[in-house]
Amino acid sequence: MKFAAWVVAFAALLFVGCNGPKALVKKGSELENAGQIEQAANLYYAAVMKDRSHVDALASLQRAGQGVLNMRLDDFQSAVALNDRAEAVRTYEAAMAYFDKIGGVNVRLDFPERHKMAFNQVKSAHMDDLYEEGMEDLATERFNDALSKFEEIVRLDPSFRDADLQADIAYCEPRYRSGKTALSVGEYRSAYRAFDEVIGRKLDFKDAAALKDEALAQGLYTIAVIGFQNGSDRPNLENKFRTYVMQEVANSADPFLKVVDRENQQMILQEQQLALSGMLDENTAIEVGGLLGAKALMKGTVVSYEASQTELRRYTRQGFESYRVEKVNAEGKKYYDTQYRAVTYMEFEQSREVSVTFNLALISLATGETLASEMITRSKSDAIRFAKYTGNRNNLFPANMSGTVNRSGQRELQGLLASRQELIAESTLLNDAVQESAKGIREALERNLLEIVP
């Protein structure tokens, strides 16, 4: 049945998309005569959307639309008679939404005032029911049930009693408790997230803001970054890496990741004669951790740098240059005939690639153990392909395999003639590769920190 309904709906959409207002009105009339009022109204509505001034479509929509609205209002009345307040509210809102939809195309339907009065009474009683049920849910700590009830009240009437406050309590209380539990067992990230959700909903809920700050303070993972080593043959590459890595880590979205002030850490590390060596044993690691106020030390080595560039490859291509020849027809009138002469042009290709590999190590300054070690490789490349021609390039055409004029290939050839002829500089590709490597290093730190600070 569901498949059949889908087929009918899809066919209706195709019909609407492929037909004008007149055809839609005609098909709608057939459906209306067959008793399918709602389907007919949909087609009349589609016709009006295509032509807001179509008289037959407007009149038909008003007639069928009133029928659809009356059916919805009958559903509302039935729900009221059965004392099903929730269903009564739903069906009334469906009727009002339909009334507004049809009114949006300037077709006025009749919505009797008695239904509005009945709805206001039902809505008030329904909100009373929801409020009492919600308060009982709160008392028995069924927070999700309470939240859905109070939010429904707020949707219907934002000023109803203190439903908005009770909705806040139903939302915040379970998250607040979850945050406190996580904080007590050292799951600082989970606690931080829970308290953040609480104050995002209600800023002054209990002491959630203070507890969020506490979770951050206790879980904050401070990292000291020592000078990187360069194992490649590219001078000063380690300094370039350090600059980009420090920028990336400083911009991390992880609130628990923090880098020690560079000047202070350099001074302390130099005093410990570790700035260049990066050699740590367990005792030294603990000592340095205390001096820096850091929990971990990040060091790294540029393992390799490779750059390659192909020779500029040259190809002689066959082509044709068009030109115009003046001629005279049998009546003595001049005209121009386009002809082609065989020519050659040059096509060129070249490529360049750089690749860098960086080894990242994260060392605990509490135990001296290696917390993470990752090899990160990033490559960037560029390629050029262009053509040169000494004649009239605007009239140049490539040749087909058969040696004839390839008119359809002229656009591509013109693109080659206008293409850039210089590769992106190696230094630019290197900067891009290092920047992407730095991003990969930050992501590796963040990934490991999710386990270190749960």
CA distance readout (Å), 446 to 146, 259, 296, 371, 372:
37, 13, 13, 13, 11
Between 225 and 409, name the one with better pLDDT. Answer: 409
Q: What is the DSSP letter of 387?
A: E
Quote the percentage of the chain above a pLDDT of 90. Answer: 83
> What is the rounded distance in angstroms from the CA atom of residue 60 to the CA atom of residue 353?
68
> What is the rounded distance in angstroms from the CA atom of residue 410 to the CA atom of residue 44?
50
> What is the rounded distance in angstroms from the CA atom of residue 201 to the CA atom of residue 12?
44
Q: Pairing state of beta strands 296-309 and 229-230?
A: parallel
Between 442 and 9, name the one with better pLDDT. Answer: 442
Nearest to 269 by CA among 189, 186, 363: 363
C-alpha torsion angle, residues 197, 203, 205, 207 (rounded to 10): 90
Maximal C-alpha separation, the chain: 107
> What is the rounded distance in angstroms from the CA atom of residue 28 to the CA atom of residue 71?
18
The amino acid occupying position 238 is E
**pLDDT of 200 above 70:** yes
Q: At what angle do helices 262-271 and 282-292 cross, to 10 degrees?
A: 140
Element (H, E) at 31: helix 21-33
> What is the rounded distance in angstroms from the CA atom of residue 54 to the CA atom of residue 22?
8
Which class does domain 220-454 fall in? alpha beta
pLDDT confidence of residue 271: 46
CA distance readout (Å), 454 to 185, 218, 251, 449:
10, 12, 21, 8
124-153 mean pLDDT: 98
Between 367 and 232, name the one with better pLDDT. Answer: 232
The string of pLDDT tens digits covering residues 81-93 is: 999 999 999 999 9
- Kindly report which listed range (10-14, 55-59, 334-338, 340-344) carries the lowest average pLDDT score: 10-14
C-alpha torsion angle, residues 399, 400, 403, 407 (rounded to 10): -60
119-126 mean pLDDT: 97
Render 337-381 in DSSP notation, one character per residue.
EEEEEEEEEEEEEEEEEEEEEEEEEEEETTT--EEEEEEEEEEEE
132 is written with which tokens? Answer: 């009492």
CA distance readout (Å), 378 to 228, 248, 361, 436, 450:
17, 16, 17, 7, 24
pLDDT confidence of residue 12: 55
3-state secondary structure of 398: strand
Between 369 and 63, name the one with better pLDDT. Answer: 63
> What is the rounded distance in angstroms from the CA atom of residue 249 to the CA atom of residue 360?
13
The string of pLDDT tens digits covering residues 21-46 is: 999 999 999 999 999 999 999 999 99
The answer to whether 328 and 296 have CB atoms below 8 angstroms apart is no
Residue 405 buriedness (CB in 10 A; 0-12 / 13-18 / 19+):
middle
Residue position matching structure tokens 């540029």 = 302
Nearest to 54 by CA among 15, 10, 19: 19
Which class does domain 140-219 fall in? mainly alpha
pLDDT confidence of residue 365: 86
> What is the rounded distance in angstroms from the CA atom of residue 226 to the CA atom of residue 361?
11
Nearest to 380 by CA among 443, 421, 440: 440
The string of pLDDT tens digits covering residues 398-408 is: 999 999 999 99
351 is written with which tokens? Answer: 């490529």
pLDDT confidence of residue 76: 98
pLDDT confidence of residue 41: 97
**pLDDT of 283 above 90:** no
**pLDDT of 120 above 70:** yes
The answer to whether 166 and 150 have CB atoms below 8 angstroms apart is yes
Between 160 and 272, name the one with better pLDDT. Answer: 160
The answer to whether 280 and 297 have CB atoms below 8 angstroms apart is yes
Residue 224: how many other CB atoms lie within 10 Å: 27
Residue 138: how many other CB atoms lie within 10 Å: 19
Q: How confident is the model at residue 225 (pLDDT cuts 50, 70, 90)?
A: confident
The amino acid occupying position 318 is Q
**pLDDT of 282 above 70:** no
The string of pLDDT tens digits covering residues 295-334 is: 998 999 999 999 999 999 999 999 999 999 998 888 889 9
Residue 452 main-chain phi, psi, to 5 deg: -70, -40
Q: How confident is the model at residue 367 (pLDDT cuts 50, 70, 90)?
A: confident
Residue 422 main-chain phi, psi, to 5 deg: -125, 135
pLDDT confidence of residue 19: 86
388 is written with which tokens? Answer: 């040169």
Q: How confident is the model at residue 280 (pLDDT cuts 50, 70, 90)?
A: low
Q: Domains of the chain: which residue ranges?
A: 2-111, 140-219, 220-454
The answer to whether 372 and 440 have CB atoms below 8 angstroms apart is no
Instruction: Give 304's strand partners.
Output: 357
pLDDT confidence of residue 260: 83
